[in-house]
Every structure is written in structure tokens, then in C-alpha cells.
Amino acid sequence: MALVKCKECGQQISTKAEKCPSCGAKAPRKTSPVTWMVLVAILLIVYISVQSPSSPTSSMATASNSDDRTKSKDVSKEEPPSLPEWRTFESEDEMTGERSAFATSPRSSPRRPMEFPYQGARAWLGVGCDKNSEWAYIGFTKTPNLNNTETKDGYNLINTRVKWDDSVSRTSFTQDWGADFLHFRADSAAIQRLMAAREMLIELDWHSQRPVHFPFTLRGSSKAIGAIREKCSNY
């Protein structure tokens, strides 16, 4: 027989007594082991249902994530990222009001990084026109300092190798002293090549840098050059 303390008077009474023989208060009851077992079982069932990966909420979330990944893969297959193409723009001389139009390639870095003080140099191909003429050139973010040039009155003459797709040829350029541009000497022939080829590679004997090679994409060049020609015909 187990004894418990009366909650009113503090006397020891039997757990089987219905009330305290001293004060008459109801005797406290011990929780039945069966009751504890039932309570533990309920808590265990609730825990398992929350943690189970097969619960409806978890299944829906997993399915949703799977659908999102599938959609992402499908979109990447259907819509590959677009490659950079040539762009066009116009300019106007503030003093004379004369207008020009330009088509330019995306900027390109040399295949082998250049060293100080030319690190980070980039280049682009360009075609320009006004109401009277059109020209082709290569622009640089840092002024080219080239070897093996022929000095003329106010400019240098450069003769170097250019690769149009798989065909290599010698091409002549001019560079005004201190200028950031190389101009094709044969503009008309150069523009025809720019419109017909897929890519171009130029080799430059850059001072202290050994041969430097700049690749250029000609993707969209024909369309861009045609667009500026139409603009210039209306100036």
C-alpha cells in the first residue's frame, strides 16, 4: 500500500483512501501507468506525423521544387542565352550640325592578357559613315604602341596579318600620332570582308608585349552596317 501526503493538512494517507481521515479532504490520486502510456503514445504519433517525409505538405513541396527545376531546364533548352551582336548609334557635330552613323562590334580582350602598362586593354571594330563617305577602323581603350611601323607626315603606317575566318592576309592600317584608332587603308574592301565573314583576328606587334591577338565577332555586322548606310543616305 502506497502513502501520499494530504494536500490540505500534510498527513500521510493511503492512496486507496477516498478522503483524509484527519481533515476530510479528498485524497490525491496517482496518475495511472496506463494513462501515462496513452499520453506517450499520442505524443509519439504526433511527432512521427510531423517528421515524416511522406506527409502531404512535404510531398507537395518536393513536387513543386521538382517542377521548378524541370521548367528551368526546359526554358534553358528552348531559349539559349543570346550572343552579343553589333550595335548602331548616331552622332552630331555640335558646331556644324553634320551627322554621322556608326556600327560597332562588342568589345574584345586579347587572347593573351597584356602586361603593365597595357593590362585591361580592349578593342572593337567599327564602321562609320556620313552623307559623303564611309570608313572602317579598330578602336582601343588604351593607345596602341606598335613596333615595325612606317612613319609618315602626322601618322604611322602599319602592315600586319589579319585572319578572316580561315583565310590569312596582309592588311594595311594608318594610325594618327597618339590616336586610339587604327584605320583600314582600303575601307571599301575591309567593309565587304566585315559583312561577309563570321569572325576576324588581328595580330599587332605591340611594344614590350610580343605579338598581341585581338579576336572580333562579326555576328550581326552585315545587318548593322546596312542600317547605318540607310541612315546616312537620308542625311
Burial degree of 199 (CB within 10 A; 0-12, 13-18, 19+): middle
Q: Check residue 102 and give its pLDDT.
A: 98
| CATH class as words, domain 87-232 | mainly beta
136-139 long-range contacts, CB within 8 A, separation 24+: 136/183, 136/184, 136/187, 136/190, 136/191, 136/194, 137/181, 137/182, 137/183, 137/184, 138/173, 138/181, 138/182, 138/202, 138/214, 139/104, 139/180, 139/181
The model's pLDDT over 117-137, given as tens digits with 9 standing for 90+, comes to 999 999 999 999 999 999 999
The model's pLDDT over 153-203, given as tens digits with 9 standing for 90+, comes to 999 999 999 999 999 999 999 999 999 999 999 999 999 999 999 999 999
Locate the domains of the chain by residue range.
Answer: 87-232
pTM of the model: 0.66
